[in-house]
A = this chain, B = another copy of it.
């Protein structure tokens, strides 16, 4: 596969899916009668909490890594992240037998550092500011010649994330709508593209915590907005959109819903209690939006992307 310099087409997403298949799990689409009753809709949950490294990020990192030239691959992958993307890049490198360099803030929990090193990556610690992360990453790339894998603002990554919704549509059949959470927008962009290509009658919706509603405000105003705070339990969604993801979101989405912290925690608890699966708070945002906007979803067949299951069991909100 060649690197993508355009918005992924249906053929690009199909090719990506074929290519990353050995690197990912095909996760199940689960249903839950009692939650359906509460929502008044038929919900199909795409369980990326069961994905390798515990999150959909494996799809995008795998897609980007596989598109590097042999020479680039040899020099390895680099990124800055303390979360799921770090582990996805580290595992992608491990599976390809190439080095990975991960810049992490020195405030990251020891367990995350250990997990990333467990995949064979070299972890480089830096101060916990965006400036320090970026300058440290730059130095690492200079030193090693490794390729920076952006967590979301990259068409190769977007094509990978799009495969989650593609599988969901294959397993659940044509849908009336699909809803995903929005952080940097990589998953949302990919989801919206797969919705258009593979379930063309369906509408794509986004969802965000009220506290970090940059995508909502960007979508409504037509110009990119930034988050003023990061004050949400949905720690995967604190990021601002990138220009590539904003562009796709603006073209493809029907609407974006924002939800309160209370609604996120209640939806998270509901999934744990009724579906017996572990999801991280960011995952609960789309379900919270569905439950809070019943007139929009009532009677419909709705795809819901559950993004990951990496949660600190020692710090649960209930």
CA distance A278 to B50 in the complex (A): 13
**Is A54's CB under 8 angstroms from B309's CB?**
no
A318 to chain B, nearest CB (A): 5
A269 to chain B, nearest CB (A): 6
**Is B50's CB under 8 angstroms from A276's CB?**
yes
- Quick one: closest B residue to A309, CB to CB? B276
CA distance A49 to B313 in the complex (A): 19
When A314-B318, A316-B313, A318-B314 are in contact, do A272 and B276 touch as well, CB less than 8 Å? no
CA distance A50 to B31 in the complex (A): 11
CA distance A272 to B272 in the complex (A): 11
Q: Which residues of B contact A28 (CB under 8 A)?
A: 28
CA distance A144 to B50 in the complex (A): 47
A317 to chain B, nearest CB (A): 10
Chain A, residues 284-318, CB within 8 Å of chain B (1/0): the string is: 00000000000000000000000001000110101
**Would you list which residues of chain A between 164 and 201 have a CB under 8 Å from chain B?**
none
Query: Quick check: is A277 within 8 A (CB to CB) of the other chain?
Result: yes
**Is B313's CB under 8 angstroms from A273's CB?**
yes
Chain A, residues 12-37, CB within 8 Å of chain B (1/0): the string is: 00000000000000001000000000
**Would you list which residues of chain A between 254 and 282 have a CB under 8 Å from chain B?**
269, 272-273, 276-279
A132 to chain B, nearest CB (A): 30
Question: CB < 8 Å: which of B269, B313, B318 contacts A272?
Answer: B313
Question: CB < 8 Å: which of B49, B276, B309, B313 contacts A318?
Answer: B313
CA distance A49 to B275 in the complex (A): 9
Q: Which residues of B contact A318 (CB under 8 A)?
A: 313-314
- Quick one: closest B residue to A280, CB to CB? B276
A21 to chain B, nearest CB (A): 17
A282 to chain B, nearest CB (A): 14
Q: Which residues of B contact A50 (CB under 8 A)?
A: 276
A54 to chain B, nearest CB (A): 6
A58 to chain B, nearest CB (A): 14
- Nearest 4 CB-CB pairings of A with B: A276-B309, A276-B278, A49-B276, A313-B318
7 residue pairs of the A-B complex, CB under 8 angstroms, read A28-B28, A269-B313, A276-B277, A276-B279, A277-B277, A313-B316, A314-B318
Interface contacts beyond A50-B276, A272-B313, A277-B277: sample of 4 additional A-B pairs, CB < 8 Å, sorted by A: A49-B276, A273-B278, A276-B279, A277-B278
